[in-house]
Amino acid sequence: MNESHPPLPLIEPDLDARYSLEVVAEITGIATHTILHYQEEGLLPTGPSAARQEEILFDDATLCALRRIDHLARQYEMSTPALKLLCGLLEEVESLRAALRSRS
Amino acid sequence: MSVDFKDYYAILGVPREASAADIKKAFRKLAREHHPDVAKDKVGAESRFKEINEAHEVLSDPEKRQKYDSLGARWQEADAGMPPPGWGGNAGAAQGRRYEWSGDDQGTEFHFGGTGFSDFFEQYFSGGTSYGHPGGGGKGFDPHESAGTRARRGSDVEGDILVTLEEAMHGTTRPISLQMRNARTGAVETHSFQVRIPPGATDGRRIRVPGQGEPGRNGGAAGDLYLRVRHAAHPDFSTQAADVYHDLALAPWEAVLGAEVLVKTLDGSIKMRIPPGTENGKQLRVRGRGLPKGKTGERGDFFVVVEVELPTELTPEEKEQWEKLRLVSRFHPRGSAPT
């Protein structure tokens, strides 16, 4: 980085950020009923469950998962069972990789 | 633009046929030597430490190692005019990674800088992906979305970022540059910014940087950038979520009779009491001395994993003592008295 340049904009992500259903729909561009469908199907990382729809809160990991699911559904026309299968496999691969990494 | 081939075996100083244990051993030795905490030349040590880490990251993972080995064999050939797969474009920056949507002639190219990995690693071993709503033309893509002037959100971009355990402990700020060439317009845009990596960034955690992914089309919002945290391997510590693990070497008599030892943690040393009769592999937990967990001030735990080491070179006096022990001991690990 050239020091004569003005300082770069600093972005401070909040790891603990939680979003309401409406905010998630806005951020991801995915309709609320679709998000709820994915959640009911168990496709999203389980977060704290809420009795009322307005009280459900989502975290960054869920946002990331949602965008991936949405991409798969749109790009490859994947059905919900296929999404379940693939997301389950991706999750398993990731946790096995993590186990492998932490062993070394 | 080309990327220099990295000889990871040479970096770790091991032969190509080295076993996993040899690689681990070589890594630990070098990482200890070049760890920025202990080295005198901080700047030089840091780049060397990252290089050692990168070599270990690839060679300690059987899948990556296999890929690396086959890549090495093809490298000359690739250099002589057959670019490796995924090579393309001409974004021109000195460091980073690029990737394009396959089957999408309107794709956006990404080029990363500041992640702590070399260009070579970024190109072949970073598990990064880009997903979202790619810019039209993909198989099975909704034709209504790709056509015309409808506003569409940009793709999310994901990349790995190497974070040392010290950085994970205290947090850090990283300059990141993301260069994107829109194949449709040909325009190259570089987004440079700093990202605060908060304390407690655990391995595998994705840090969301809003609005720094692919720009939107026709007035749509930009996608997000996800930085996936990769903990740099540390010679003394490993992590699992917010818990930190440390292998503690003990002499057989320390394990059998108990001992008091000084143990290094990520933030200062602690005195630990090893209870008598501590078995090899036993985990002793120290609460709250792991990585921070979010903003609550809560922390993970620190686990000391006992590794009893045996003396291999004995003086005649030592040998005599062990022989005496053999005669008097009632310890028969295979269940019956030795014959």
**Contact B174/A at CB under 8 A:** no
Strand, coil or helix: B97? coil
Which residues in chain A have Cβ-Cβ distances shorter than 8 Å to B203?
A: 98, 101-102
For the segment B256-265, the average pLDDT, to the nearest whole number, is 95
B 185-214 → A contacts, CB under 8 A:
192-196, 198, 200-201, 203-210, 212
Note the pLDDT of residue B109: 54
Residues B221, B248: contact at Cβ < 8 Å?
no
Q: Which of A75-79, B60-64, B71-75, B99-103 has the lowest mean pLDDT?
A: B99-103
**Contact across the interface for B195 and A29, Cβ inside 8 Å:** no
> Using CB atoms, which residue from B140, B192, B203 is nearest to A101?
B203
Note the pLDDT of residue B126: 63
**Contact A63/B at CB under 8 A:** yes
**Contact B133/A at CB under 8 A:** yes
Note the pLDDT of residue B137: 32
Note the pLDDT of residue B57: 85
**Contact across the interface for A11 and B134, Cβ inside 8 Å:** no
B 271-310 → A contacts, CB under 8 A:
294-295
**Contact across the interface for B196 and A100, Cβ inside 8 Å:** no
Phi, psi of B287 (to 5 degrees): -65, 140
For the segment B8-19, the average pLDDT, to the nearest whole number, is 92
Nearest to B177 by CA among A61, A9, A13, A14: A9
Asked whether the predicted pLDDT for residue B34 surpasses 90, the reply is no
Asked whether the predicted pLDDT for residue B118 surpasses 50, the reply is yes
pTM over 0.90: no
Among B19-23, B99-103, B257-261, name the most confident range: B257-261
Interface pTM, i.e. ipTM: 0.81
Dist. CA B305–CA B203, nearest whole Å: 20
B280: left (phi over 0), alpha (psi -120 to 50) or beta: beta
pLDDT in tens, B194-204: 999 989 898 88
> Using CB atoms, which residue from B203, B204, B206 is nearest to A60?
B206
Asked whether the predicted pLDDT for residue B306 surpasses 90, the reply is yes
